[in-house]
Amino acid sequence: MAIRPVNLSTIKEKIPNLYEAVVVTAKRARKINDDNKLEFNTLMSTMTAGHEDEFEERENPEQLKLSLEFEKREKPHIQAINEMIKDGIEYRYKDNVSK
């Protein structure tokens, strides 16, 4: 995977404060990662384990194929940065209501 530099001015066009952009992008990357984990775990739980032998560990080709598919996907932080550059990520501040 090649390194692709990102021009900071393109990010500042979407969000004027660069530090906010970093926080928003990091939170979006966490959300993407959580979604990927959930999808992976649900797909793994639907697969049959096959014959369980406590002395021998055997590779399951279905699980191996699924793992390789998820490894080939774009990394969550790269996806979040691309979303920020292309579409912008919608975000809002938490309401600071103190009573």
Position 32 pLDDT exceeds 80: yes
* 95 within a domain of the structure (yes/no): no
pLDDT computed for residue 16 by the predictor: 83
* 96 within a domain of the structure (yes/no): no
- Mean per-residue pLDDT over the chain, rounded: 83
Mean pLDDT across the stretch 1-11?
Answer: 80
* 25 within a domain of the structure (yes/no): yes
* 48 within a domain of the structure (yes/no): no
* 10 within a domain of the structure (yes/no): no
pLDDT, greater one: 13 or 38:
38
**Total structural domains in the chain?**
1
pLDDT computed for residue 94 by the predictor: 80
Residue 23's CB is within 10 A of a number of other CB atoms, namely 13
* 9 within a domain of the structure (yes/no): no
Token pair 């739980």 in the structure block, residue:
45
* 54 within a domain of the structure (yes/no): no
Domain that holds residue 71: 17-43+61-90
Q: pTM of the full predicted structure?
A: 0.75
Sign, CA dihedral 14-15-16-17, equals negative
pLDDT tens, residue by residue, 37-84: 999 999 888 876 656 655 556 677 888 888 889 889 999 999 999 998
* 71 within a domain of the structure (yes/no): yes
